[in-house]
Amino acid sequence: MPDAVHVGSGKVRELYALDAERLLLVASDRISTFDVVLPTAIPDKGRVLTGLAAFWFARTRALCPNHLLAVRPDGRSTECRRLAMLPIECVVRGYLAGTGWKDYRAHGEVCGHRLPAGLRESDRLPEPIFTPATKAPSGHDENITRAQAAALVGAERFGAVERLSFTLYRFAADYARERGIIIADTKFEFGLDGDGRLVLGDEALTPDSSRFWPADQYAPGGPQPSFDKQFVRDFCELTGWDKTAPGPELPSTVVAGTRARYVEAFERLTGIPFATYLADPNVVLS
């Protein structure tokens, strides 16, 4: 890529600088489970993530400014505004799952939010809660209290990202619910542009940054089948893998099943056939 300088790699994305103001985020087909990137890729997963995030960016622009400038014809590369990312992950939870459930079971609260007694795993919360986390370089993010998060980014800015996160979550959760998908929780990352304005960055409202549950199978009182990675997790459990790197190779049935679920999430949420997106990624922007 002659017009770009590689500036970083995450578990899923490669980052390139296009110039001082713009980055190219390229979403690979890598899949991680239990925080380990597996040796087998899921074809088109990066395109699904890129297309879905762009779809939401286009639809939430009036609620919150975001970094998206353009999606490239490959369907997996996003040109975006380069931001100074805030050092917190902005998590909104509408349901009790993952570390939220763990913390609740241990202490009756999540990130300083006292919750009613007697909630079950995967129960819907009376109101969504904001549960910030640190952006740990190791990949294992840690929940922190609202006060700790406010100390990291400043009280005023904290208030602003909390409000924006709730607004985005409520909009997307309502939208998805009508299409048969529960967004149990989701993570946003915000940054500051050159003028110090808050801008939504990274990916947003994708199966990698959220828990998507099929609404017709929702049954609180235990873990829910996740929309995307369930095949992979189930397979990994079966192999007896100890969840440290390297992870197991995935058989072709698991790869195909997982790809189908990612594509299904894309099609259900956007209402656009995935083949149409592949032919012209700009369809998600209008």
Ligand X SMILES: Nc1ncnc2c1ncn2[C@@H]1O[C@H](COP(=O)(O)OP(=O)(O)OP(=O)(O)O)[C@@H](O)[C@H]1O
Chain residues in the site for ligand X (CB under 6 A): 10-13, 15, 23, 67, 80-83, 85, 139, 189, 191, 201-202
Q: How many CA atoms lie within 13 A of 26 on its CB side?
A: 15
Question: Which lies closer to ligand X via its Cβ, residue 24 or residue 110?
Answer: 24
Residue 65, phi then psi, degrees to nearest 5: -65, 145
Closest distance to ligand X from the beta carbon of 116 (Å) = 32
CB-wise, 80 or 125, nearer to ligand X? 80
To ligand X, the closest distance from the beta carbon of 82 in angstroms equals 5
* Contact between 107 and 113 (Cβ < 8 Å): no
Q: How far is the CB of 216 from ligand X (least distance, A)?
A: 30
DSSP 8-state secondary structure symbol assigned to residue 66: B
The C-alpha atoms of residue 55 and residue 112 are separated, in whole angstroms, by: 33
User: CB-based contacts of 156: which residues, under 8 Å, 6+ apart?
Assistant: none
The residue sitting closest to ligand X, measured at its beta carbon, is: 10
Closest C-alpha among 66, 62, 58 to residue 83? 66
**Amino acid identity, residue 278?**
L
Q: Which is nearer to ligand X, 12 or 198 (CB)?
A: 12
CB of 265 to ligand X, least distance (A): 18
CB of 275 to ligand X, least distance (A): 26
Number of CB atoms found within 10 A of residue 5's CB: 11
26 or 129, CB closer to ligand X?
A: 26
- CB of 136 or CB of 260, closer to ligand X: 136
Cβ neighbours, 10 Å, residue 248: 18
Q: Name the minimum Å distance from CB 8 to ligand X.
A: 7
How far is residue 49's CA from residue 243's CA, in Å, rounded to a whole number?
24
Residue whose CB is less far from ligand X, 108 or 194: 194
Closer residue to ligand X, CB minimum distance, 37 or 184 = 37
Residues 229/130, Cβ–Cβ less than 8 Å: no
Of the pair 28, 270, the CB lying nearest ligand X is at 28
Structure-block tokens of residue 88 = 């917190």
Region of 204 (left: φ > 0; alpha: ψ -120 to 50; beta: rest) is: beta
Question: What sign results for the dihedral spanned by CA atoms 77, 21, 64, 169?
Answer: positive
User: Least Å distance between CB 200 and ligand X?
Assistant: 9
Least gap, CB of 170 to ligand X (angstroms): 23
